[in-house]
Structure formats: structure tokens, C-alpha cells
Amino acid sequence: MKHSQKISVIIVNYNSLDHIDTCVTSVLNQTYPDFEVIIVDNNSADDSLNYARTQFPGLIYVTNTENLGYAGGVCSALEYASGQLIAPLNIDTEVADDWLAQMADFLDRNPGAAAVTPKILLFNNRNRINAMGMNVHVSGMAFCRHLYKEDDGLIEPQRVFALSGCSYLIRREILEQINNSVGQWDIYYDDVIISWLINLMGHDIWCTPGAVIYHKYALKMNRDKFLIYERCRHFFVLSVLKPFTLLILSPVLIVTELLVVVYSLLKGRHYIKAKMGAIRSIFQQARSIRKKRAQYQQLRKKSDFRLLKRLSWNLEWGQLFRTLD
């Protein structure tokens, strides 16, 4: 494979001492010839930053004075990155030695693709899938594609609506264009936002199963994550879709909200409070929603109705029910 573009791999660390060796060592063993590794530390308290600097002294380190979250950490590293391609990576992973080469080769051969995401397998059950991209429902709810299914060895690339925030490779100019327009990302929802906006801009996202990583993943939910996720989902969907589209979709959106309320009832009173808090935020942030909509429209190259053809119209109940435990 011939590659002409440098890649900046960005790994965000927050109290992740137990994951550093496996992740960074696997990244440094890449067959791709031209890449740099940037470790962003979000004010860790477990001495993981000092450990990483001692074990891997040749890397680039970005130290934040507060926990900016995963997406915030990635954005804080961009000014230090010299690559034309950006590869954010969760620290609780191990990557195959041709992970970067497979993704970069796909982007080299497909100039219409803005980003590519790998096949992500479970770290402790390596014949089972964590994600091959994401499916996004018209309500903004996102689900891992093929979660927990057996890996059948498929290597044919597939176009997907959304990438997985765990690992992807994106053209720098696309990421910077989105970042300059949008500003601060929302925690737990950044992969949905960036994917939706890539589609809005008229670009494609692909999954290349030939690129493989292993992720220490478990499908779970807690009250705080649920509150943040629901608040971000409401805010984004109301911001990115035009008012007429929201009106047309209102029956689907209302039914989805009722189903999420039922989910909250099954999870208990703390989740009910979280859901009600997310709904209240719609009214509290009405002005911010209008402002954000104007920012998103600057990126628009596709109509809502063209995007709706790529979104999912089915809720993936299996994944929802697994989080009821």
C-alpha cells in the first residue's frame, strides 16, 4: 500500500493507568509508515500521565487542567497535530498492526469518503462484535451495528450513517470545518453529532472491516449518563432538523419519547427525574437551539429528506433491554 498522508493518532487519558501499556504498545506497532501519537491527559489523578511519559517518552503529550471529556480532549489536541488525517482512539483498546494502514488505504482510494471506522471486536471475546459503525434512529438514538453478533470474517467495506467514537479516521479539513462551526462537543453524543454533520455536508462514512481493534466494552447505562445523553439528543435533533421536518416527524418523535418514558419507569425514579430534566432543558435552551441551528445550516449540503433515507426507522430493542439490568 502506498500512503502519502501523515496520521495523527489521538488517545485521551483520564485515570486510565491500567489501559496505557496495551493500547499505546499496539499503536506503536503499526505497519503504517507515517504517523504520530498524541496522548491527551484530562487532569488524571492516578499518576497515569507520569507513567506514560516514562514508558513512552517519544510521544506528544497534551495536558489539560480539567477533564474535558473524550471529545473535548480530542479537540484540544488538534493544534498539536501535524497529520492530514486524524485518528481518535479510546484508550481501553488494542489495535491490530494494520489498523491504520487499512483505514488510510480506504480513504486514499475513496476521495468521497470523509471518515472511516474499523471493525470493533470485544476485547475479552474476540469473535464477537462491539460495533461496525452505528445506526442512528430518526429520533437521534444511536445503536452499535451488529452488537454481540459473531464475527463472520467479512472484509467488504460498508457505507454506514455513523462512525463509532471508539475509533475512526477522518480527514482533518472535515473535522476542523465541523469543529469551527459547532464548537464544544457534547459528551456521550459526539460520535452521533459528527456523523450526522458529515452526512449533512454531503460526505460519506464507511466501515472497513479489514481494520480491526479490540475494545474493553460493556453495554451499560447509569442515571448521569442517561440524563446527559437524553439532553444532548433532544438539543441536537431540534437544532439540526428544520422545523417543517420536525413537524412531519412529530408522530414518530412523540411515540419514541413515550417509549423512553416507559424505559425510565422500568429503570426507577432516578431515571424518571433524569428524563423529566432532559425534557425541561428543551424549554430552557430554546434560544441556544435556534443559535445552533443557524450554525449547522452553514454546513448543510443535503436536505433533511435525503438524510432521512439514511437514518434508521427502527429502534433496536435488544440493546435497550440489555441496559435494564
d(CA 155, CA 269): 45
Residue 269 inside a domain? The answer is yes
Question: Grid coordinates representing 155?
Answer: 472484509
Domain count, the chain: 1
Residue 231 inside a domain? The answer is yes
pLDDT digits (tens, 9 = 90+) for 47-99: 999 999 999 999 999 999 998 888 888 989 999 999 999 999 999 999 999 99
- Say whether 209 sits in a helix, a strand or coil: strand
DSSP state of 186: P
Give the pLDDT band of residue 247 (cuts 50, 70, 90). Answer: very high
- Among 98, 104, 124, 125, which residue's Cα sits nearest to residue 116? 104
Residue 314 inside a domain? The answer is yes
Q: What are 37's strand-pairing partners?
A: 9
d(CA 120, CA 298): 33
Residue 211 inside a domain? The answer is no
DSSP state of 154: -
CA 235 → CA 72, 147, 159, 214, distances in Å? 18, 26, 26, 32
Q: What is the pLDDT of residue 4?
A: 73
Give kind and range of the element (H or E) at residue 43: none
Residue 16 inside a domain? The answer is no
Question: Grid coordinates representing 306?
Answer: 435525503
Q: What is the pLDDT of residue 70?
A: 85
pLDDT digits (tens, 9 = 90+) for 118-158: 999 999 999 999 999 999 999 999 999 999 999 998 889 99
Residue 92 inside a domain? The answer is no
Mean pLDDT of 300-305: 94
DSSP conformation letters of 238-291? HHHS-HHHHHHHHHHHHHHHHHHHHHHHHH-HHHHHHHHHHHHHHHHTHHHHHH
Note the helical H segments in 85-189.
Answer: 99-109, 172-182
Give the pLDDT band of residue 169 (cuts 50, 70, 90). Answer: very high
Residue 303 inside a domain? The answer is yes
- Asked whether the beta carbons of 114 and 170 are under 8 A apart, the reply is yes
Q: Using a cut of 0.75, tell me whether the model's pTM lies above it.
A: yes
Q: What is the pLDDT of residue 16?
A: 95
- Among 130, 131, 135, which residue's Cα sits nearest to residue 162? 135
d(CA 182, CA 107): 24
> Residue 274's domain spans which residues?
223-322
Residue 106 inside a domain? The answer is no
**Phi–psi pair at 125, nearest 5 degrees:** -150, 80
Question: Grid coordinates representing 62?
Answer: 497534551
**Choice between 189 and 43, residue whose per-residue pLDDT is larger:** 43
